[in-house]
Every structure is written in structure tokens, then in C-alpha cells.
Amino acid sequence: MAYQLPALPYEYTALEPYISKSTLEFHHDKHHAAYVNNYNNAVAGTDLDSHSIEDVIKTIAGDASKSGLFNNAAQAWNHTFYWNCMKSGGGGQPTGELADKIKADFGSYENFVEEFKKAGATQFGSGWAWLVLDNGTLKVTKTLNAENPLTAGQVPLLTMDVWEHAYYLDYQNRRPDYIGDFVNSLINWDFVAENYAAAV
């Protein structure tokens, strides 16, 4: 049951000027594709081959003998999720039940933005910033390298990739500028709201 590399949900130029065509070509066609290929090669012919990638991630998390498999599985999943977290003309504030929940759990949308930006900016080295649903409460978390909230029993609603390859061609070492553009101009709140609605 090979995990397929999904096509991007938009054209390579759709996120410009914030994320360039060159970044998406390298990030999706090279980095993401490599994770997918490595994952499929690693599970082929094993008892994990018939399981969903989400189940594999949860099953082998924390098993040092399977760290290579975990890293490729989680990175394959994380990237698929990340592409859907962005859209052309994104950003702004969410609406409806999600907006109400953000205000209830963070105090305001502005407080959420501050926490989310801080999580991305303070993730040392490579990793991810997340908005998750944890036992009915929205929380901002960050994870190192390939780790993701699935292994903690949390429901991922939104993620931002802060590995350097996600932004370096466009922003060089200016990670905070990438984070600001992601929040203000790229977040696909429709996708986040769908994830929230499915989880409650």
C-alpha cells in the first residue's frame, strides 16, 4: 500500500511572492519526494506495508531501532499536511466556530498569532510549529525534526514548516519574515476549519 506523493494543491507560482516557484519545486519535488520514496522502500515487504502511514507513525514512535523509518514516514505526512495549510490569498483571520474557539482558548486571535509566531521562531534548528486540538483545547506546539502531534494523541489542525529548506531560497536567514508572511498571507483557514470540524 505505497504512500503516494500528492500533487501540490495549487500551481508552483500560486504562493508568490511569499514562497517562490523555485522553493516549491525543490521542496515538493525533491525533499518531499525523497521522504515518500524512502518510506515506501523501507516498509515494502514488511508487516507495516498494509498499514496507513498515520498508523505506522503512531506505532513506531519512540522506537530507536526504527528512527529512520519514523523520520521518513512523519516527514512524508507532515509535508502533505503543510501544503494544504497554505493557499493563494490566504492569511487573515478565521471565521465561524474556529474563530470563536481560538478566542475562547487563547483570549484573542492576536494572542494565538503571538504564540504561533513564537513557536516557529524559537524552534531551535529544524522542525515545525503547530496548532493542535488537545483533549478539546486548542494549543500551539512545536516539534523537532520529523516529530508531529499524532504521536502525542493530539489532532493537528495547522502546521508551519521551519526547516531551512522551506524558506531559505526566498528569505535566507530571515525566518521571522517567513513566519510573518505565512501567518498574514498564506494560511488556508478553510483547511484548518475543516480539520477542526472533523475533530469535534
Q: Give the integer Cα–Cα distance in Å for 156 and 149.
A: 6
165 annotated to bind ligand: yes
Q: Mean pLDDT across the chain, nearest whole number? A: 97
Binned at pLDDT 50, 70 and 90, residue 2 comes out as: confident
Q: Cell digits for 183? A: 501567518
What's the confidence (pLDDT) of residue 1?
62
Rounded Cα distance, 60 and 57, in Å: 6
- pTM strictly above 0.85: yes
31 in a labelled binding site: no
Q: What is the pLDDT of residue 189?
A: 98
Average pLDDT over residues 124-141: 97
The pLDDT assigned to 94 comes to: 97
pLDDT (tens digit, 9 = 90+) per residue, 35-49? 999 999 999 999 999
How far apart, in Å, do the first and last CA atoms of the chain sit?
29
Given the candidates 3.55.40.20, 1.20.1300.10, 3.40.50.150, 3.40.190.290, the CATH classification of the domain at 96-199 is 3.55.40.20
Q: Is the dihedral of CA 69, 71, 76, 78 positive or negative?
A: positive
Give pLDDT tens digits for 61-91.
999 999 999 999 999 999 999 999 999 999 9
Residue 140 pLDDT > 70: yes
Q: What is the pLDDT of residue 59?
A: 94
In the chain, what percentage of residues exceed pLDDT 90?
98
Q: What is the distance between the alpha carbons of residues 25 and 187, in angstroms, rounded to a whole number?
A: 20
Among 18, 132, 23, residue whose Cα is nearest residue 78: 132
* Residues whose CB is less than 8 angstroms from the CB of residue 168 and which lie 6 or more positions away in sequence, other chains included: none
Domain ranges of the chain: 21-84, 96-199
Q: Is 32 labelled as part of a ligand binding site?
A: no
CATH of 21-84, one of 1.10.600.10, 3.20.20.70, 3.20.20.10, 1.10.287.990: 1.10.287.990
Is 27 marked as binding a ligand? yes
- Under 8 Å CB-to-CB from 83, ≥6 apart: which residues? 6, 8, 9, 28
